[in-house]
Chains A and B, each alone.
Chain A
Amino acid sequence: MGIAACSLAFVLGGVILVSAPASAQQKVLTVGAATFPSSLQTGVASFTSESLILQTYDPLVMRDNEGNFVPALAESWESKSDTVWRFHLRKGVKWHDGKEFTAEDVKFTIDRVIDPQTAYGYLGRIGQVNGATVVDPYTVDISTKAVFPILSKGLADIAIEAKHYYDEVGVEVPKRKPMGTGPFIAVNWVPGDRYELTANKNYWRGAPKVDKLVIRQIPEAATRIAALISGEVQIIEEVPVDVIAEIESSKRARVISIPTSAAMVLTYDTRRPPFDNPKVREALDYAVDKEVIRNEILKGKGEILQGQLLTARTFGYNPNVKARPFDPAKAKQLLKEANFDFSKPVAIMTQSGKYLSDVDISNAVAGMLRNVDIQANVSVVESAVYLKQWSALEMGPIYMVGWYSLNDADFATIWYTEGAKRSVWKNAEYEKLFVEARSTNDQATRDKAYQRMMEIMHAENPSMFLFGIPSVYAASNKVKNFGAAADKILRLEAVSID
């Protein structure tokens, strides 16, 4: 290596030329992303995919960085009956090719999404929809199979696509060259490397403040940070919490974070001993010092879940339910009452890198459980193995999972119902309340039902509720108006560079 470095210095010293920026006037914003989707096809159910998709497309209703729902391609909407919603579309919105956006495009998109052959990953967001009807060019009715109170929220993940574009180019071209109504226009997509876009000067919310946008995939966090500090990129995603100090001490960039709606929990196999015993589950909740984990591992970012699945800003959150305090003595006493032999090891299954500091947090929890004489250890598995075991509902005694509620309790609470086949805990009242909340468009009734469900979860502990995971970005000091997004979707049209 010594030779390599010396020769490198020698070669570079002689011939190095730093390439000049292509054009001094052009403002180029470059973002370093941790992960890239494989393609630009719509409906791939991941936030990394949706983050790129929504650079070129708009949904009917959109979330802002804080997770509030605001009108996008639909200006307003109202229910016509329990199962029909009427959406009034924004007039004068143009596709990137200059043609006008109309209700036909909405109908085309909805039909495409609900066709099982499309394998649209986000279909579940609007799972109850059974079709759309064009009323006039700027009005569309969307009908649902049953009452579906979360329709407008679910639509935030459905990118509206252009009927005429699919008619012209077929279904393959848009996967590489998407054409939408969004703030940026796709120019060049190189899988695994970069996505280049140019500003849509006619964007209906106002033209972006930069001329060009380049989103680069830089999988290694250390390289991402180096690229930010060297000025190659101006914004980076997924900043590991242990390097926050390093970035801030560079004086060239700052860290921006926001709590997400994702709840990190450890779920128990409640079918089998010892976790079929509610007392044992409660004991474990007392045994883990969440405050210490948050301060030491998450460096104070994110929030401690208050003894319930929902994060504090989510619709349905119950402010009266509080997290149990750290009390190992009480934990030991409850375990003694449960009278189970804990000498056998208990595995905590987790993926590595799926959620922020997942393995570190699992290890910390295991260590704290060992302090109350539970022989806990951590088993790290690869994602496909994890998913396969999950589908079979055989995850072992404890496993780590994150549930996004996207600011409505429905999205997360469903995973504890029997029908969803994602957890093994059963509770008749919880089931009843879930159906009740889903069968009405009355928000007050829904809120009440969810709050009661949170009380049940707190009493029953189907999972150990740990943290609302933070979403951590870093931006160069030259960047203005960039905000961290609770749903991890890059919103860049307002961002400017000095």
Chain B
Amino acid sequence: MLKFTLRRLAYVPVSLLFVSAVLFTVLRLTGNPIDTYLDINRTDEQVAALTKRLHLDQSLPVQFLIYLKDVLSGDFGQSLQFGEPAIHVVLERAGASIQLVTAALLIAAIIGILAGMACAVFKDKLPDFLISTLAVAAQSMPSFWLGILLIQFFAVQLRWLPTSGRGGWENLVLPAFTLAAYLLPNIILITRTSMLETLREQFVVTAIAKGLSGRQVLFRHALPNALNPIISFIGLQIGRLMGGAIITETIFAWPGIGRLMIGSIFQRDVPVVIAGVLIVSVVIVVANLAVDILLSINDPRIRLD
């Protein structure tokens, strides 16, 4: 287990180094932070001072090495636009992203697994047909459209929930459901397929023959055996949603990492972009580890070493 964990972690710095180098080069080559930060009324002295501070007078590889040296000593650089340490800026937003993604995954997992099981149990009957059709329809629904629809209905018409912003649990409901709706179809379809396979297995037939109730057969015997593909799928989505829920974050004015990263890319705020990638990577690594551990607990045949 420990060996496995260490091996997985060893890849992280290598890939981060590669990603940082690419990001650094692309962001520097396509825009100048002085242009995005200083007003066009700037003076030559200001340009000179900022050029020196950001080492823009050095060659690109040298600039990257200077940046790398600071990173290795734990300093991810000062964000030009925020005027504070980049890592602080990112961590402040990470909480909001983790909250949103966790809520969305929970909603999607609970509803998705239950609906998928219903499809499997009532295969080719009305519930299966209805749920599968809805799942396909949901997959073709863009989140900006669904988000605005939910706002109009629950916030403007019914006034049950706030339109946007981060605050109490009531602020979380609409964005979490919007994000969950994007995951739901896949979870339903994966659960359906996996359950159908499991329900054909010998041990399920045996369990039914033993006279166990339908609920016991489904939840105690079939579900745990059908669960692994679903856990893997959800694990993969965590990283994607952490930095990639930009549309949902924008519609609901949710102060997450996705919006921060897009803004920072436009501003050519290199320290924030790279610190953001780092934090998202850490979350992905932790999530993958958790998934592997969950898989091995659920199915002891999977060994981690």
For chains A and B in complex, what number of residue pairs have CB atoms within 8 angstroms?
A: 190
Report A-chain residues with C-beta under 8 Å of the C-beta of B141: 1
Contact with A along B26-53 (1 / 0, CB 8 A): 0000111001111111110110111001
Q: Is B260 touching A192 in the complex (CB atoms < 8 A)?
A: yes
Of A1, A125, A193, A383, which one neighbours B134 at CB under 8 angstroms?
A1
Are the CB atoms of B41 and A193 closer together than 8 Å? no
- Whether A12 pairs with B173 at a CB distance below 8 angstroms is yes
Return B121 CB to nearest CB of chain A, in Å.
16
Q: Which residues of A contact B267 (CB under 8 A)?
A: 38, 384
Which residues of A sit under 8 angstroms from B45, Cβ to Cβ?
A: 116
Are A3 and B111 interface neighbours, CB within 8 A?
yes
Please pick, from B96, B152, B161, B253, the residue contacting A218 in the complex, using a CB distance under 8 A.
B253
- Contact residues in A for B30 (Cβ distance below 8 Å): 384-385, 388
Interface assignment of B252: CB less than 8 Å from any CB of chain A? yes
Q: Which of A2, A8, A120, A391 contacts B35 (CB 8 A)?
A: A391
CB distance from A34 to the nearest CB of B (A): 10
Task: Provide the bound-state CA to CA distance between A176 and B84, in Å.
Answer: 10
Chain A residues with Cβ under 8 A from B115's Cβ? 3
What residues of chain B lie closer than 8 Å to A4, measured between beta carbons? 107, 111, 138, 177, 180-181, 184
Q: Cβ of A387 and Cβ of B31 under 8 Å apart?
A: yes
Chain B residues positioned under 8 Å from A383 (CB to CB): 36, 266
Q: Report if A45 contacts B (CB, 8 A).
A: yes
Whether the pair B43, A124 counts as a contact (CB closer than 8 A) is yes
A416 is an interface residue with CB less than 8 A from chain B: no
Residues of A within 8 A of B165 (CB): 193-194, 216, 218
User: Which of the segments A226-234, A263-271, A339-347 contacts the partner chain?
Assistant: A226-234
Contact call B111/A124, Cβ cutoff below 8 A: no
Q: CB distance A45 to B160 under 8 Å?
A: no
* Contact flag A229-B156 (CB < 8 Å), given A122-B39, A385-B30, A388-B35: yes
Contact residue among A45, A223, A382, A387 (Cβ-Cβ distance under 8 Å from B163): A223
In the complex, which of the residues A12, A127, A415 contacts B154, with contact meaning CB atoms closer than 8 Å? A12
Q: Are B181 and A1 in contact (CB under 8 A)?
A: yes
Kindly supply a per-residue 1/0 record for chain A positions 195-230, scoring 1 wherever the CB is within 8 Å of any chain B CB and 0 otherwise: 000000000000000000000111110110011011
* Contact yes or no, B163 A3, CB < 8 A: no
Q: Give the secondary structure class of B's interface.
A: helix
| Given known A-B contacts A2-B134, A39-B81, A41-B83, A19 and B170 have beta carbons under 8 A apart | yes
In the complex, B6 has a CB within 8 A of chain A: no
| A3-B166 CB under 8 A given contacts A8-B173, A12-B161, A223-B251 | no
| Chain A residues in 8 Å Cβ range of B233 | none
Tally B residues with Cβ within 8 Å of A: 71
Kindly state the separation between the CA atoms of A294 and B41 in the bound complex, as whole angstroms: 30
Query: Given A1-B137, A175-B83, A190-B255 in contact, is the A119-B35 Cβ separation under 8 Å?
Result: no
With a cutoff of 8 Å between Cβ atoms, the chain A residues found around residue B177 in the complex are 4-5, 8
Q: Bound complex: CA of A3 vs CA of B132, how far in Å?
A: 11
In the bound complex, CA of A491 to CA of B170 (Å): 31
Inter-chain contact B49/A119, CB cutoff 8 Å: yes
Smallest CB–CB gap between A192 and chain B, Å? 4
Q: Which residues of A contact B259 (CB under 8 A)?
A: 192, 219
B37 / chain A contacts, CB cutoff of 8 Å:
119, 121
Bound complex: CA of A172 vs CA of B88, how far in Å?
A: 13
Q: Which residue of A lies closest to B29 (CB)?
A: A388
Q: For the complex, is B74 an interface residue (Cβ under 8 Å from A)? A: no
From B151, B159, B166, B173, contact of A223 by CB (8 A): B151
Give complex CA distance A391, B134 in Å.
Answer: 52
Kindly supply a per-residue 1/0 record for chain B positions 150-184, scoring 1 wherever the CB is within 8 Å of any chain A CB and 0 otherwise: 11101110011111111010100100010011001
Q: How far is the CA of A38 from the CA of B50 in the complex (A)?
A: 18
Q: Which of A45, A123, A191, A231 is in CB contact (< 8 Å) with B255? A: A191
A-side contacts of B122, CB under 8 Å: none
Number of interface residues of A (CB under 8 A): 57
Whether a CB of chain A sits under 8 angstroms from the CB of B221 is no
- Whether a CB of chain B sits under 8 angstroms from the CB of A390 is yes
Q: A242-276: contact bitstring with B at CB < 8 Å (1 yes, 0 no)?
A: 00000000000000000000000000000000000
B192 beta carbon closer than 8 Å to chain A = no
Q: Does A16 interact with chain B (Cβ within 8 Å)?
A: yes
Query: Would B146 and A387 count as touching, CB distance under 8 A?
Result: no
Residue of B nearest to A383 (CB): B266
| Contact status A226-B152, CB under 8 Å | yes
Q: Is there contact, CB below 8 Å, between A384 and B268? A: yes
Contact of B84 with A172 in the complex, beta carbons under 8 Å: yes
B31, B137, B148, B263: the one within 8 Å of A2 (CB): B137
> How would residues 226 to 261 of chain B score, 1 for a CB under 8 Å from any chain A CB and 0 otherwise?
000000000000000000000000111101000110
B131 interfacial by beta-carbon distance below 8 Å:
yes
Cβ-defined contact, A385 with B31, below 8 A: yes
Residue of B nearest to A222 (CB): B148
- In the complex, A385→B29 CA distance in Å? 10
Asked whether B63 is an interface residue with its Cβ less than 8 Å from the other chain, the reply is no
Does B42 contact A124, Cβ atoms closer than 8 Å? yes
Q: Does B89 contact A (CB under 8 A)?
A: yes
Q: Please, could you name 25 A-B residue pairs with CB atoms under 8 Å apart, sorted by A?
A: A2-B137, A3-B111, A3-B184, A7-B107, A7-B111, A12-B161, A18-B159, A18-B160, A38-B79, A38-B81, A38-B263, A119-B38, A119-B46, A121-B41, A123-B42, A125-B41, A127-B41, A172-B83, A175-B82, A218-B253, A226-B148, A232-B155, A388-B31, A388-B32, A391-B35
* Across the A-B interface, the 8 shortest Cβ-Cβ residue pairs: A124-B41, A384-B31, A45-B39, A387-B35, A192-B255, A1-B138, A38-B81, A116-B45
